Structure 1
Amino acid sequence: MEYLIIVLQLIVGLSILNVWLVQYNKATRWRGGDATTIVEEFRAYGLPDWSVYVVGAIKTVLALLLLAAIWYPVLRFPAAIGLAAMLAGSVLMHLKISDPLIKSFPAALFLMMCLIIAFVPENAVLN
């Protein structure tokens, strides 16, 4: 189980960093509304431009902490719960503007992964 948790940490952490540091200004099928960038997406949600930078900073720091938690396990729970809260907000924003459910799929999937990371003990045995 320990390796599964590490794999999930890598998937979530690197994916969040990819969204906020690499795909920031690129159109994806997951963007809210008709947005082609993150700034446009936040505008579609009715959020102010400054919130992009606050949310981006929080998600980036939490993703880095989740990756660091591979070596410093004390960081695992707070990083995973923090990201889960942020991802729940992402899902709610998609629902707020009546996006098709498929657009919130990545956020919902990573939310579930974060909850597994946070609440499944590393030494759990799958039967």
Structure 2
Amino acid sequence: MEILSIAAKIIVAAGIYNVWLLRFGKPTPYRGGDAKNMEEEFAAYGLPAWMMKAVGFLKIALATLLLIGFMEPGLVLPSAAGIALLMVGALMMHVKIGDPPMRSLPALIMLGLSLLIVFMN
């Protein structure tokens, strides 16, 4: 079970870093609406630019705290719970604009892994 917990933490953190740091300005098949980058995606959801910055900061901070949780275990539960809540919000945005279910798959996987981490701690 410990290996599963370690893998889930690394996958969640790496996934968030990938989306928010490496692929922020690039198109992906999972972007909401017809968005080609993160700014367009938040606009498609009807959200202001400041919200994109706030969500990005929170996701990167929580992913980092999740990894720091390897040394400070008390950070794991709040970090994973915070990421799970943000993933629920991401899923709601995809539903709001009528995206096909496939576009929600990464958020759903991240939600599942975050909840797995929560329940294993």
TM-score interval, smaller chain = over 0.9
Encode CA deviations 1:67-94: one digit per residue, 9 max, x unaligned: 1112211111000000000000000000
Structure 2 equivalent of residue 67 of structure 1:
67
Q: Is the CA contact 1:9–1:70 (under 8 Å) kept in the aligned structure 2?
A: no
Residue 50 (structure 2) pairs with residue 50 (structure 1): yes
| In the alignment, structure 1 residue 34 sits paired with structure 2 residue 52 | no
TM-score by length of 1: 0.93
What letter is aligned with 1:109? Answer: I
Q: For structure 1, which runs of at least 5 residues remain unmatched after alignment?
A: 122-127
Name the SS for the 1:31 alignment partner.
coil
Higher fraction of helix? 2
In our comparison, the structure showing a higher alpha carbon Rg is 1
**Which consecutive segments of 4 or more residues in structure 1 shift more than 3 A?**
none
Count of residue correspondences:
121
Is structure 2 residue 104 aligned with structure 1 residue 96?
A: no
Q: Which residue of 2 aligns with 1:112?
A: 112
RMSD: 0.7
Q: Distance in 1 between matches of 2:64 and 2:3?
A: 18
Aligned AA for 2:33?
G
Q: Percent identity?
A: 45
| Structure 2: unaligned runs, 5 residues or longer | none
In the superposition, the TM-score normalised over structure 2's length comes to 0.98
Q: Give the secondary-structure state (helix, strand or coil) at the position aligned to 2:19.
A: helix
Residue deviations 1:13-65 (CA, integer Å, cap 9, x gap): 01101110110000000000000100000000000111110000000000001
